[in-house]
Structure 1
Amino acid sequence: MFSLDAPLAPAIDAFVDPENDDAAQKTGLNTVVMQVHRQVSMEALIQALGAYLTSGDDKVRSRATLLLAEVLTRLPELQLTPSAVQLLMTFFADRLADFPSASACLRALLALETHHAAQVQSPRTTVALILKLGKTLHIPQLGQAMRKMCFDLMQLALMQPTVVELLLDSVPASKDAQDASVDDAEQSEDLGRQFAQTFLSAMEGEKDPRNLLLCMQVARTLLSKLEPVFSRSDALLQQYFDVVSCYFPIIFTPPPNDPYGITSEGLILSLRHAFAASDLLAPLVLPFLLKKLASTVVEAKLDAIQTLVFCGERYSVNALLLQMHAVATALYDEVLDGEKQEVIAEARQAISRFSGVVARAKAQDTPGAAYAWSKFVVDMTARAAGELRENAADSMSLKEISTVSTASVTSTNSGEHPVTGGYAAFVVEISLARLMAAVNEGSDQEDDDDEEGTGVATVLAASNRNFDSFFEEALLAITELCREASIFQATIFLLIDLCVEKDDGKQSAIGFCEAEGDATRQRHVDCILDAVAKIVEINAGDRSSMEFCVKASSSASIIFRLLTAVETSAARATAASSDKPGLVDDVKLSACVRIFRAVMQNVSSATQQQLVDAVVPAFLRTNPSEPASLQLVPLFAAVINSAARDVTIPESSLVINRLLELAQSGATAVPESSPRQLQLVYTEAALSAAKSLASIMNKMSDGAEFDALIDLLLSQKLAVVISNPYESFTVRVAALQIYAWIAKGLIIRGHKVHAPVCLRFLCSFLTPDGDVNMEQDDDQQAAALRMEVGKTFKLLVSEYPDVLNRKCGAFITFLYRQRLFDLVFPVLLEYIRAHIGEETSVAALVAFAQVIAHSPKAIYLPHLAQIFPLMVQALKTDDLESAKPFLKDVFPGLLKQAQFGPAAKDRHAALECLAKLATIPYELVHPYKDIVLRKLLLVLDDRKRLVRHMAVRVRNQWSIL
């Protein structure tokens, strides 16, 4: 039994005696450890063990040595003097020759180096110990545990700065500093080389994954810290490479329930770190990995590529120079000739990452980077382009070029654009040449001399891919390239050249490329123009790129070329002889609208003025009687709506009159029997004109001229038409739409005079007892007009991406929604409460719902007691529009209350409300059915039976809807 006061000698005997059982040995060990911890010194313990340490019995000597090792291991804070540490290290180092005691000696030495390294008098002692390990023990033949302790000792030695400094000193130390444990032969030799050779000899042939993981870590540390030692000896560096490289590729499957947690990924990563420890290894590692790429095993090829990239990203560019061409060639061949898709994908990624390494070095003016750039990126691109022209490459090559260029461009210093260096322009030239061939293939098939067209056809035939997929991939590659500003500027003109052409009859006339009945080519041109719009939108944040779109070469800029092209296309469509009116392609117009809007919103005011000065005359040439001409109104509106407040619109009175005319024409110009496409043209033109009127009124300066214009538009021209019962309903609704848009511009501007007047006018229709006399209207038309007015309130409170927002330069005041609420809420509330249940209050409910739904919560929260009864009334009405704005807040609130309400009565009441909501029109509750059923599942586990029963009934009721 263990006792603190037990005598030392019996305890020693109990542990050392190999015949004792484990319990007796453990008790003896604990007693010895406690005695040494309390009062017995290590010297006294060694003296007490004297007879055992010199015993003729191997087991006794081994256990006596093990006792010393256990004490040193279990007492890390044991106080030892430097002389005592030196004595112990010398003792255990000499005792390594006694093989039965070797394991215990290693354990003791490991404890001393771990816990008492600071007390070691000289780093030579540690170095001598490591060298003695290699000489005394043949480490590769030891057991796993003993080998691991040897490697641990070497790792601990390399962690000591004084030891590393000694190993790096190539000049033998003088004999004055000679340590007793280091003989003269060791003093006269290079200790760094001896240390490295000792470790490499010990590691050679290591197979245990536990030891191998440690060995790779030691090898990496050894080479990185003793790099000068390896640089002086090619034989030593070759030995390092031979020892480490024999493990490639590592294939390891851990046993089930492995307690050590060693994985194949961990071993592979440790090997890669050992390969990448120093630039000195590059001439050995890179050719070795390139040779491994020839393997037929997919896993080995993948590992070789991944290791190649890992090392390439860690070696310096100078270390890569001699192998750069070989690496580029191997990866290129792997992409083009590889059989397995995963290998091709990995090689493609390797190309991207290698080019990124080279590009970053080039941007930092690293010596040798320009040569590496030439050998890797430029040569590879040139080879790909050449093979494409010779019909020797799969169309995948274009994608690889784009991948390389994208990685390079993003890593290049902004001070030196790739375009100016010629590379990006070269890539763009190749890509656009392929795309040009794709676009023109349909029309040029009869031309046997068309080298480009033949090249595309050959590529497609070789790759078993259809024409459209090639076209889309080429266009996507160009779009990705153009994310960089300099490439954008080099490319955008070339893309526009694919979409527009000069009229043969008029040298100055520019129009969109005519498809001449070829639907496929028409689609391709549309796709290119759509890609141009995407590219412009991607670069919208770069003002210089947007300015470039307008100012480059003046009238030859893409904006002015597109403006001329759409006008020419409209003229061609109008002049075309056909029974049906000619129209411009909607896809082209839509892309142009996006381009004009993105550019207009992101250029300076001076450039905006230049663009407005060019667009307004074109707009005034619009002929309302020609559908093709009307199609251009949204394009002109995009420019007008995006102009800043300090931009002057030339001939503004003519522009306003033309906009008003166009906005009203949608209700009268097109008979109901006209084709739907034609009706959509007039409707879109009218809406765009109304938006532009609102934008102009929003940005116009205050003054007498402004007040007179508002009075003319709203009171004399629009309000009169809206209030006139003798006008047709469609004309009144069209006037109402224009009035609502202008009112919106005034409301968000926060105009103190005109905004309240507009709101009172609109509310007067919702409250028939108001200022507007509607007695002469028949009941049906009056109700319909009231409903249209109610719906316009959604327009007043909603936000639109193309007009009247801050990006468009709109004049928006703070808290305009609060002011709208304060003006409208009392009027509508009073009327609705006075006419609850009457048909005349439905339109007011619709407007009321829109105002509440789009107002900040803090505004309507104090009025909740007044609003909620009206909300319930809205839910009961047959008009679905009046109820929709409420439900998005009603259902989440009730479901939250049913689940988390503090009292059972509250949760039960919420469930009752959900039951009532199940009885309202199904069109309203359908969007919420799934979430109600899902949330009610949680309520079924409520702690109160009353709530659980109610939840069951409500869920059943909802499940059968």
Structure 2
Amino acid sequence: MSSSWLTPSLSEDLIKNNDLFKETHSIIADIMSGRLDIVQLVENMGGVLTNKEAEHRDKGMRFFTKILKELPQDYLTEAMINFISKFYIDRLKDNHRVIPAVLEGYLAIVNMTNYNVTNSGEFFTVLFREVPCQSQLRQDRYNIYCIVQTLLNKNLEYIKSLGPDFVYGVISSMDGERDPRNLLFLFGFLSTFLKDVPLGHLVDDMFEVISCYYPIDFHPAPDDPAPVTRQDLANALCPCLCAVPEFGEQCLVLLVEKLDSSLRLAKIDSLRLLKESCNTFKAETYGPFLKTLWASIHREISHKTDEELKMVAHETLSALITKLATVSNTDQSFENFVKGILISMQTAIAESSTVAQLVQASKVLLTAANASKESCLIVIRSMIPATVAYYGFKTTSKLQIASLDFLGDLYEMAVHWEVIEQLGAEVNEIPQLCLTAVSQPSKEYQIAGFKTLIRVRNALQSELVLPFIEVLVHNVQFSQDKDLLSVSVETVHAIARKYPEDIMTLVIKGKCDLENLTQDKEALQKRLNLLSNLASIDDFTKIIIEEMLKIITKNDEDASKVVEAMNESMSNASLYSNEKLTEIESDHGLIDSILSWVTSELHTGSKEGLSHGFMLIANTMSSLSVEKQQKVLSKHTGNVLEKCKSDEAYFHILSCLYSSVHQSVYDSSFEDIMTLALTLSLQSKDDDIRTKACVLVAHFLNKAEYGQKFEVLYELLKNFQSDGNREQALSTTLIVLYGWVTKALIMRGNDMFTFWLQKIMTTLSCQEFSQHGSEAIKLVMTDYPDYLNSKHHCRSGLLYKQRMYQSFKSLTGNIGPENDDTKQYYLLSWAYVLEKVPKTVLNNDVGKIAPLIVESLEYDNKDLLQVMLDILCHFIQEKHDVIALSLQTILPRLLNLSKYVKSMDVRIKSLQCLYEIANAYRTMILLPHKQDILLDLAPSLDDKKRLVRNMAVKARTRWFLVGAPGEAKEN
């Protein structure tokens, strides 16, 4: 049989022997080496290709097609391809058994580099005449569609020149296609085909063939390994139905009909189709349908419970108005449409008796206003006066407050479309109404009025500033409500941005009497909070900061209140940027002043007051540049470090100076500070100092640049934790230090973290320290707002928690918990790690994690249960088999936890797991447990918490349906 393809005996050998199909690689090698010419190969196969038996001709075509598919795409010349193309075209007239190999082979030909697309004219003529597409098998139909798409991509202009006959052939080929995979492919390239190839008089035919699939009603087979979903098909079909303007009228007639359907999916598909059509159809096309379309959209947008349907309706309305606005200058249909919406919604607002009804109508108007500049003008010009009037005749406080919020939305919409100047008279009504609201004694009215005023502050007229300030300053001086105080301060700040001179006169020098700030003790703290907030505005910074620092420098009895107010305001990044803090430090020496104060108060001042001072220093240091930080440190470090050696209280100052330094800041004092911090982390009796010492060690290790700086600090740590050959005796404080060191190293991506993690892991099997070991694991996985974050210039790898999970998982194999107590903390450590890792990562380790979850359900530990139940719920939803195999153990434990008295969240989550199990797994697995579950779920129906009862009803109802007539056996 060797090399028989080189002789005419090839045909006979091919008929008799299937083993030749395994030799195609050798044939390819001979063709590539020049031993065999492709034309010669065809001649040698003549006997089988022209055999009287269709079975043999099919075999010959399949053999030759296999060779073509294995040849490099750029090997055959144009002349060779032309010869083979004509041969394959001729074969299209052959017996139906031969056709599949011909189509597969021609698809290989058209993908070749030197294929001349002019050959395709004859191919399509013969194909459409001789081969009824829908009579072929699924794969053969798919090959036809692929050939069409490939040739379109190769030479669109030539394909377009083939004219209506080609278009009709494509229509005929796809007419009646029912296979979901083929349809998905067809829809995928049809939207492009329709835009690129003129349909001529065949527009109606093409639309009829496509629209017969609308709306998609399809459900994949349960045993399909790679199912095409209904949504996949719907998403692909939609662009085809509105691909060209010529489809406009037919498409709108179709979707109007389906919008009236009782089928939810048909409504959603129709709304999405209408939205998509706005990208293609002309605005004039919609004119005759607008009244009907608004009626349908209005109906769906008013749906009480279906949020997805409402959202799609809003998006569709927006797209339609945007499209109509393009002809607003020449066609009244746009203006009439928007005014129709306006009238409908004004009526709905006037008749609304609940906030929900008001909000629903206002959302429609906001959607309309947001669609275009023209619609924005029409809606807002009418709705601001209407809403102001509505506020006047509605007596319900909740509706009046909701209308204020709506006015704020309308104003922001006008700002967005830059039409404020065209709405001057209407917009000016809003601040006046806000004044009416804040003049009432009710806290709710005042907060709503101030919040709306903040949003429309640029519309505030100067004559209204004084009455607003009277109310605001009264609140600052006398109100005890935190929410009202906060919004009052924010409002003064907003007014000050527009009228700084008025605020300087009326508030800073007037009501707050800045020059005699501490004389009135009654509302001092509130006034300080207001002033420190206003100090962020450039016009006020100098005068306010100087006066506040005078009080701090004198260190009188109110200094701590000033420090607290400054810290609260300056910690707010939205008020004080890094640049602003740097400016204040440079101009006023803020750090020096606060340092002097905390030093003098270190042993006598209140702990809370000092903490504000430390935070203010750290926050200001964080904002400074490297050069400025180094300057501050060189000025103060020597003195503070010396005092620390005899008085550990000074470590608070050292910590606030060094915790926020940049990564490149480093000097010789770092080594002394590191040694001191390590000592205090274990030996200090003060909890705060021990914590700050551990944190400072972590910051140094995390930020030190690789090389000598990092190695010196790390060596200090290694030497400290081992005294000669003897390690430090294990203690709770040492375990905490291990936690911070591990966290610092893993966040910066340093592999040495595993050395310290191992030390923590060994404590998990020790009864005395297992709880502290689990807390150290929690420390590593927890994000802290004041430590080891970007604000303090620390390094943080994006995937460090996933890395911790992988390392923790690999190290747990060496742990053997001694008893139930250590086992509980071992599992709790797992919970702390698993809680912070994306659940998609956990899917790869279900076999390892599932047994831990099942075991955890036995322990009376709320933190442990909440995490494990959440992960269990995820695994159930993903339908992992390992859960199904453990149902006999899991179900009784979940039922027991559904009555867990210590935590409502645990009860809800256990009930959700029961619901998800009934929803995810096969009926035959669930049926043996059904009656026991229904009986044991009954007590949860009477739980004292409403949310628990709701979930119990949901779970029990789903279990009732298990095995019921009509229930799908595969969920």
Fold similarity call, TM over 0.5: yes
> In structure 1, what is the equivalent of residue 695 of structure 2?
888
**Offset at 1:317?**
3.5
> How many residues are aligned here?
743
> In structure 2, what is the equivalent of residue 153 of structure 1?
147
**Offset at 1:243?**
0.7
Equivalent-residue separation in structure 1 for 2:581 and 2:297 (angstroms): 64
The answer as to 2:465 corresponding to 1:559 is yes
Equivalent-residue separation in structure 1 for 2:534 and 2:353 (angstroms): 55
Q: Report 1:352-501 matches (<5 A).
A: 352-358=318-324, 362=326, 373-389=334-350, 396=357, 398-399=359-360, 401-402=362-363, 405-406=366-367, 408-409=369-370, 412=372, 421-438=377-394, 440-441=395-396, 474=406, 477=409, 481=413, 484=416, 486=418, 493-501=428-436
Equivalent of residue 210 in structure 2, options 237, 244, 254:
244
Give the structure-2-normalised TM-score: 0.63
Equivalent-residue separation in structure 2 for 1:392 and 1:91 (angstroms): 79
**Offset at 1:594?**
1.2
Q: Report 1:499-898 matches (<5 A).
A: 499-501=434-436, 512-515=438-441, 519=442, 522-533=443-454, 535=455, 546=458, 548-549=459-460, 552=461, 555-556=462-463, 558-566=464-472, 590-601=486-497, 608=500, 610-612=501-503, 615-616=504-505, 622=511, 633=512, 658-666=513-521, 679=522, 681-685=523-527, 699=542, 732-734=556-558, 765=600, 784=604, 793-794=613-614, 797=617, 799=619, 818-833=630-645, 836=646, 841=647, 844-853=650-659, 861-868=667-674, 871=677, 872=679, 885-890=692-697
How well do the aligned residues superpose, as a CA RMSD in angstroms? 5.5
The change in CA–CA distance for 1:131 and 1:497 in structure 2 (over 3 A counts) is same
Instruction: Please tell me the residue identity of whatever aligns with 2:89.
Output: A
Instruction: Please tell me the residue identity of whatever aligns with 2:59.
Output: R
Equivalent-residue separation in structure 2 for 1:814 and 1:5 (angstroms): 81
Instruction: Please tell me the residue identity of whatever aligns with 2:429.
Output: L
> In structure 2, what is the equivalent of residue 226 of structure 1?
197
* SS at structure 2 position matched to 1:61: helix
**Offset at 1:287?**
1.7
**Offset at 1:244?**
0.8
**Offset at 1:563?**
2.4
**Offset at 1:331?**
0.9
Equivalent-residue separation in structure 1 for 2:8 and 2:108 (angstroms): 24
**Offset at 1:736?**
7.4
> In structure 2, what is the equivalent of residue 58 of structure 1?
54
The change in CA–CA distance for 1:252 and 1:21 in structure 2 (over 3 A counts) is farther
Q: Which structure 1 segments of 5+ residues have no match?
A: 169-190, 443-465, 502-510, 537-544, 574-580, 623-632, 634-657, 667-678, 723-731, 768-782, 807-811
**Offset at 1:481?**
4.1
The change in CA–CA distance for 1:259 and 1:737 in structure 2 (over 3 A counts) is closer
Equivalent-residue separation in structure 1 for 2:518 and 2:351 (angstroms): 58
* SS at structure 2 position matched to 1:206: coil
Equivalent-residue separation in structure 2 for 1:418 and 1:892 (angstroms): 55
The change in CA–CA distance for 1:41 and 1:761 in structure 2 (over 3 A counts) is closer
* SS at structure 2 position matched to 1:159: helix
> In structure 2, what is the equivalent of residue 214 of structure 1?
185
**Offset at 1:195?**
1.3
> In structure 2, what is the equivalent of residue 462 of structure 1?
none
**Offset at 1:493?**
4.0
CA contact (8 A) 2:552 2:594 kept: no
Equivalent-residue separation in structure 2 for 1:929 and 1:756 (angstroms): 29
Structure 1, residues 109-130: CA drift from partner, whole Å, max 9, x if none? 334333276446xx3x422321
Equivalent of residue 106 in structure 1, options 87, 93, 103:
103
Instruction: Please tell me the residue identity of whatever aligns with 1:14.
Output: D
> In structure 2, what is the equivalent of residue 298 of structure 1?
264
Instruction: Please tell me the residue identity of whatever aligns with 1:135.
Output: R
The change in CA–CA distance for 1:818 and 1:692 in structure 2 (over 3 A counts) is farther
Instruction: Please tell me the residue identity of whatever aligns with 1:223.
Output: L
> In structure 2, what is the equivalent of residue 347 of structure 1?
313
Equivalent-residue separation in structure 2 for 1:693 and 1:944 (angstroms): 47
CA contact (8 A) 1:698 1:746 kept: no
Equivalent-residue separation in structure 1 for 2:203 and 2:247 (angstroms): 8
Instruction: Please tell me the residue identity of whatever aligns with 1:598.
Output: A
Equivalent-residue separation in structure 2 for 1:873 and 1:588 (angstroms): 43
**Offset at 1:278?**
1.0
* SS at structure 2 position matched to 1:115: coil
Equivalent-residue separation in structure 2 for 1:275 and 1:212 (angstroms): 14
> In structure 1, what is the equivalent of residue 131 of structure 2?
137
Equivalent-residue separation in structure 2 for 1:660 and 1:6 (angstroms): 107
**Offset at 1:240?**
0.7
Instruction: Please tell me the residue identity of whatever aligns with 1:213.
Output: L
Instruction: Please tell me the residue identity of whatever aligns with 1:496.
Output: P
The change in CA–CA distance for 1:799 and 1:514 in structure 2 (over 3 A counts) is same
Equivalent-residue separation in structure 2 for 1:145 and 1:960 (angstroms): 58
Instruction: Please tell me the residue identity of whatever aligns with 1:290.
Output: V
Instruction: Please tell me the residue identity of whatever aligns with 2:669.
Output: H
The change in CA–CA distance for 1:925 and 1:382 in structure 2 (over 3 A counts) is farther
**Offset at 1:284?**
1.0
Structure 1, residues 223-248: CA drift from partner, whole Å, max 9, x if none? 22223x42xx1xx2111111111111
**Offset at 1:96?**
2.8
Equivalent-residue separation in structure 2 for 1:68 and 1:21 (angstroms): 15
Equivalent of residue 164 in structure 2, options 173, 187, 193:
193
* SS at structure 1 position matched to 2:214: coil
Give the structure-1-normalised TM-score: 0.63
Equivalent-residue separation in structure 2 for 1:784 and 1:393 (angstroms): 57
The change in CA–CA distance for 1:145 and 1:914 in structure 2 (over 3 A counts) is same
Equivalent-residue separation in structure 1 for 2:616 and 2:632 (angstroms): 9
CA contact (8 A) 1:482 1:488 kept: yes
The answer as to 2:230 corresponding to 1:264 is yes
Instruction: Please tell me the residue identity of whatever aligns with 1:328.
Output: W
Q: Which structure 2 segments of 5+ residues have no match?
A: 571-579, 704-709, 776-971
Equivalent-residue separation in structure 2 for 1:285 and 1:760 (angstroms): 74
CA contact (8 A) 2:682 2:734 kept: no
Equivalent-residue separation in structure 1 for 2:88 and 2:637 (angstroms): 94
Equivalent-residue separation in structure 2 for 1:851 and 1:422 (angstroms): 58
Aligned-residue sequence identity (percent) comes to 15
> In structure 2, what is the equivalent of residue 918 of structure 1?
733
**Offset at 1:393?**
11
**Structure with the greater relative contact order (CA < 8 A, sep ≥ 6): 1 or 2?**
1
CA contact (8 A) 1:127 1:157 kept: no
CA contact (8 A) 2:5 2:41 kept: no
**Offset at 1:271?**
1.4
Q: Report 1:305-316 matches (<5 A).
A: 305-316=271-282
CA contact (8 A) 1:821 1:851 kept: yes
Equivalent-residue separation in structure 1 for 2:90 and 2:11 (angstroms): 23
Instruction: Please tell me the residue identity of whatever aligns with 1:562.
Output: F
* SS at structure 1 position matched to 2:668: helix
CA contact (8 A) 1:659 1:693 kept: no
Instruction: Please tell me the residue identity of whatever aligns with 2:242.
Output: A
Instruction: Please tell me the residue identity of whatever aligns with 2:251.
Output: V
Equivalent-residue separation in structure 2 for 1:718 and 1:214 (angstroms): 75
Instruction: Please tell me the residue identity of whatever aligns with 1:958.
Output: H
Equivalent-residue separation in structure 1 for 2:113 and 2:598 (angstroms): 90
